[in-house]
Each structure stands twice: as structure tokens, then as C-alpha cells.
Chain A
Amino acid sequence: MMDDVLVMQGVTRDYPVGGAFAKKRTLRALRGIDLTVSRGRTLGLVGESGCGKSTLAKVLLGVEEATSGTVLVDGHPIESYGRIERAKLIQPVFQDPYSSLNPRMTVASIIGAPLQVRGEGTGDSRRKRVEEVAGEVGLPRHLIGAYPSQLSGGQRQRVAIARALIGEPKILICDEPTSALDVSVQSQILNLLHRLKQELNLTMILISHNLAVVHHLADEVAVMYLGRIVEHGPSQAIFDRAHHPYSSALLKAVLPPRPGSRLPELGLEAEFPSPLNPPSGCPFHPRCSNDDGTTCHEIDPEPSGTSHTYRCHHPDNFTQTAAQDQAPAD
């Protein structure tokens, strides 16, 4: 049996919307997430803006609490860990390195903060460890005493990664780690993450809307749509043959690196629906090219498949080999 570090079962997260006078409504940011991540694996989480990716990250970090469902970290519910124990297990790397570092702290105190918070080590031993980690993430030594405003975007992101790694966490949650960076720096940060992942046997959740990034780093991919996982499977399987029409559309949405070529045809019809008022039946049906007009409007598809699961009545690319997985539920 594989060693499951992170298990999510039916995780939902609701936000109340509306003030004292407006009608109270509930925004369901996460609607029953089931996911399991094994030790040392990297899960890529993709989806449009507003689909709940970042909410999921916050729930996993323990910054937000799940409304229902359980998150098991290393076999225990996430709420059972204290503030510091949780921080030892899970660490984040955020999207915007310009807002993820306190402008009033030096690089050394930012990287060393996790140790200071835990009261680990003396000033001297902490400083040594900070230099060690800064070296590991490729941060030039002379920048240790600098302030974030004196650093480039890539250097800032290295600081953020160093801060996340100094306490040797088991799980690293990267929320769009490269989307705020220049293209040239993006690959440096990705290579760094790739190397660290192997050296430290990190389990990683990689949240991104950039499929190339996910392809580069992830062992498996989960596609999110409107607060739920619509397709989940090994990275290669999904990139080769996505079953859910939404995943296919996302894959098609990648711009070809060729000037003058036409914009890709997505087959996504309507706008992204409001999570305040999700569509009936399969939540994807208003935008789906495979919409049959009856079943899709009435029945919410359950996940089908075993290693490569998807929630769709009429999956794409459904060949004989995939059918052996399990018959689609339609």
C-alpha cells in the first residue's frame, strides 16, 4: 500500500455572502473534494480563476477551516495538530512574491522566522541554518541582509521557498508559484522546485492555471471546476487523452508558441457560472459541447474510472482501452 500523506474526504467550504440587509446566501467554494496524495508525489491542481483552487490551498494550510469533510495529514485530522505542529508538516509558497514577504523584515529574518516562531535553536545556529537554506535555493549570500524591496521577483520567490523549506516540511503547497514572474525566471524557479522535490522527497500540491508548468512538475493532475474535481489521473494520461470535455478545453486553450497562428477554438460556450448559483445536473453543462439536453441537465455525474477518474456522462476520447477502466455511467 502506498503511503498517503494527504487525504481529503468530502471537503467542502462555504462562505456566507450578503450583509445585514442583503439576502443571506451561501457561496460553496468547495463542493465535496476527494483527493489522496502519496508521499513524494506531486499533484497538479488546474482550473479557471474562481474554481476554488486557492480555497483548497487555504484549507490544506489550516488557514481556513473546512465546512464539512475531513482532511487527514499524515493520518491525523488537520484540526488535531497545533499551530506549530501543522506548520512543521505543511508549508506554502504563494503566487505573488511581492506581497508574500513582509517589506519591513530582512531576508534573514524572513527565512528564519519559522525557527524563531518555534523557539528552535539559538541566534547563531538559526543564522547558520538560514545561510544553508539560502544556499540550497540559490539565493546569493550577499542578499541575506537585504530587504525584499531590493530583490528581484525571482529572488523574492527563492526567499519564499527558503522560508517554506527551512523547517523541513513534508508537504509543500505551491499556489501559482511562477505566474507572477518573468518567463525567464519561471523556468529557474520550476527547476529549483523540481530539484528540491527530489532531494527532500517532498510531497507537493502545485496549483496552477499554466498547464505547461503542471506538465513539467506534476506526477498526477486534478482538474477543478466550480469547487469540485472533475477529472483526476496520472499526468501523462490526462495530457494524452483527457476524458472530461472541460479538461480537453483547458488543454486546447494553451496558446501555440507560433506568431500569427489563430487563437485556439475552445468549445467553451457560456461564461463561467456563478458559484452562488451553480447550474443543475452536471455543473458544466451550460458550456459543454457534449451536452445532451436531458441527462446532463438533470443528473450530476458521479466519478467514474479507477486510476483515472472523471465526472462526465459523455466523456471525450473514450476509446476501448479507457473503457476497460470502467464503463461510463450514462
Chain B
Amino acid sequence: MTNIEQTTAPSVALSPGRMTLHRALRHVSFWVGGTIVLAIILAAILAPAITSHDPAIQDLAQRYIPPVWTEKGSWDHVLGTDNLGRDYFARLLYGARISLLIGFMTVLISGAIGTALGVCAGYFGGWADMIINFVITIRLTLPVVLVALVVVALVGSSLTLLVMVIGLLLWDRFAIVVRSATQQLAHREYITSAAAIGSSTWRILFKEILPNITGPLIVVASIELAHAVLLEASLSFLGLGVQPPQVSWGLMVAEAKSQLLFRPWMIAVPGAALVLLIFAINLVGDAIRDVTTPEGKA
């Protein structure tokens, strides 16, 4: 009776997660984006090994040295120096630390908030859904930069505060995406089965629903990571983000804005770094979306 079903089965079972990873590794933008992001992360971590300059040490005798590709440039300061004679390359590397730190921490906070709200709204429905939807709507009516400005202006700026403020403001997309992904799953029969075998609600949420929404979750996380890095840059540009002597790419642009017409490279360098990072993150996000959606499955 059973021999009809003796079909060929792979000797080593790959979990759906592993298969997604295998597909991702064959995706060009995953490689390109991933390599760039990884390179930036490594450069940020290994900053002291890459450059001997301290990003905060000023040398007024060495102000405004142009980068190496110009006539007056030198290999001593590859990307030149700023208005206080600080090495621009070192500032770029150490600035990446702050930008990435804020990006990842913020996504952790906003992802946790948004996922929790979205799963609850999608799974419980009814009143929970109505209330959470209301909260999402309220959040969407708040202009992010304005709220961040007010909070920072009232409380004063620090790295922790910046992470908290951005994290507490950027969870809306997580909540919306996770909510609809959960709604689609909530009526699957394996959720009903899980309830019928006596699973607790916690078990259903964590073992049945969460593992099945990781695809959209990672995509949103990549978008929000880019969003958070940009928002930090904007706030720093406005003088409400990272405070000296800490460095961030947004702060570098802000400090160089008076030189926009005279030494455009001072803005172009951190600007290009930002563009490259955001571009690479989005490439990775795109690749993940491609390999996790059903249409992308080979």
C-alpha cells in the first residue's frame, strides 16, 4: 500500500530557511550589496588598524588639505583634512561606526516593537487589531524629523537618546507588514492544527507564525536600516544628532556645509559613503525579497 509513495527524497533535508540562503547566494545583487555592506562594517570595526590617525586630533597647521587625487594632496592624509586639521579618512571610518551602530540598534528596537504589535493585531484581530491600527495611524500622522527635533531639543542629545528616538519612531512599517503577513497565516490550517493539539498562544505565535514571516521581516528590516542611517544623518546635519567629538557621516556633511562651493569634496566624500551604504543595503533587501517571495522560487 505504501510503495507507490516511495518517491525519491533528498538524503539530506534542507530546511526552507537553508534553501532560501542557497537561492540568495546565487543572486547577483545579494553578492554585490552584501560585499559592500560587509566591507563597510569591517572597515568600521577595524578602523584603528586601517588608519593610524585619530579622528578627533586637531592640527591647525594642517587644515583643509585636499584629498590625494588633487595636485596638493598627499598620501599622509588620503582624503585630506577638515577645517580643524582632522584626518578625513579616519573620520569617515570612525563615522561609519556611529552610523551603523545607530542603524542596527534602531532596527532592533523598531523591529521588536513593530513585530510585536503586528503579530498581535494580525493574530488576535477584533479589538486588538482596532486598537493597534489606531496606534499605527497616530504614529503615521507624526512627522518623524519634527518629533525627533522636539525630543532632542527638549532632552538634549546623546547617542542612546538618538537610538531610542529613532527606534520608537520607525516601527510603523514593521507593524503594517507583519500584521498583514500574520493575517494571511492566521487562517492556515496548520495554525488551527497547532491550536487543536493544545499549543499555547505563545507557542503558536513564536513557533508557528514568527518563523513563517521572517521573509517579509528581513526585507522591511533592510529598508528601515537604510532609513535609520539616513535619518541619523539628517538629524546630525541639523545639529541635533551626534554631538562632537563623536563623528557620524551626517555630522561630517553638516560641518562641511560652509565649504560647499569652495571644497565640494568635503561634502562629496561622506555623501558618497552614505549613498554607497544605502545603495548596498537596498540591494541586499531587494535580493532577499526576490528569493523569499513565491514567484522567485525556482
Listed in ascending order, the chain A residues whose CB lies under 8 Å from chain B are 58, 61-63, 83-84, 86-88, 90-92, 94-96, 99-106, 113-114, 117-118, 138-140, 142-143, 145-147, 149-150, 152, 154-155, 158, 160, 163, 167, 184-185, 188, 191-192
Contact = CB atoms under 8 A, between A and B. Distances in A.
Interface string B7-25: 1011101111100000000
Contacts of B192: 58, 61, 63, 92, 94, 100
Given A99-B190, A143-B9, A104 B17 contact: yes
B195 interface: yes
A56 B7 CA distance: 36
A138 B197 contact: no
Nearest to B210: A104
B141 interface: no
Contacts, number: 107
A191 B1 contact: yes
Contacts of B54: none
A88 B196 CA distance: 9
Contact of A99 (B2, B9, B188, B197): B188
A184 B212 contact: no
Contacts of B199: 83, 113, 117
15 contacts: A61-B196, A63-B195, A63-B196, A87-B197, A87-B198, A90-B196, A101-B190, A106-B15, A117-B197, A117-B198, A117-B199, A142-B9, A146-B13, A147-B13, A188-B1
Ranked nearest first, the 5 interchain pairs of A and B with the lowest CB-CB distance are A87-B198, A100-B189, A138-B2, A104-B211, A114-B197
A58 B193 CA distance: 11
Contacts of B14: 147
B295 interface: no
Given A92-B196, A113-B199, A152-B5, A147 B190 contact: no
Contacts of A154: 5
A188 B4 CA distance: 10
Contacts of A96: 189
Interface of B: 1-2, 4-7, 9-11, 13-17, 188-190, 192-200, 203, 207-208, 211-212
Contact of B4 (A61, A88, A184): A184
Contacts of B193: 92, 94, 100-101, 160, 163
A92 to B, nearest CB: 5
A306 B212 CA distance: 50
A95 B190 CA distance: 11
A138 B3 CA distance: 9
A102 B198 contact: no
A155 B3 CA distance: 11
A152 B7 contact: yes
Contacts of A138: 1-2, 5
Given A96-B189, A150-B9, A150-B10, A113 B194 contact: yes
Contact of A102 (B5, B10, B190, B200): B190
Nearest to B203: A117
Contacts of B2: 138-140, 188
A102 B208 contact: yes
B13 A150 contact: yes
Contact of B189 (A86, A94, A152): A94
A149 B198 CA distance: 24
Nearest to A85: B198
A167 B197 contact: yes
A83 B1 contact: no
Nearest to B192: A63
Contacts of B15: 104, 106, 147
A158 B6 CA distance: 13
A103 B189 contact: no
A88 B198 CA distance: 8
A94 B16 CA distance: 23
Contacts of A191: 1
B9 A83 contact: no
Contacts of A94: 189, 192-193
Contacts of B9: 140, 142-143, 146, 150
A155 B188 CA distance: 19
Contacts of B212: 102-104
Contacts of B6: 140
Contacts of A152: 5, 7
Contacts of B10: 146, 150
A91 B13 contact: no
Contact of A104 (B13, B16, B197, B198): B16
A159 B281 CA distance: 40
A39 B11 CA distance: 42
Contacts of B211: 102, 104
A323 B9 CA distance: 59
Contacts of A63: 192, 195-196
A182 B9 CA distance: 20
Nearest to A143: B9
Nearest to B193: A100
A107 to B, nearest CB: 9
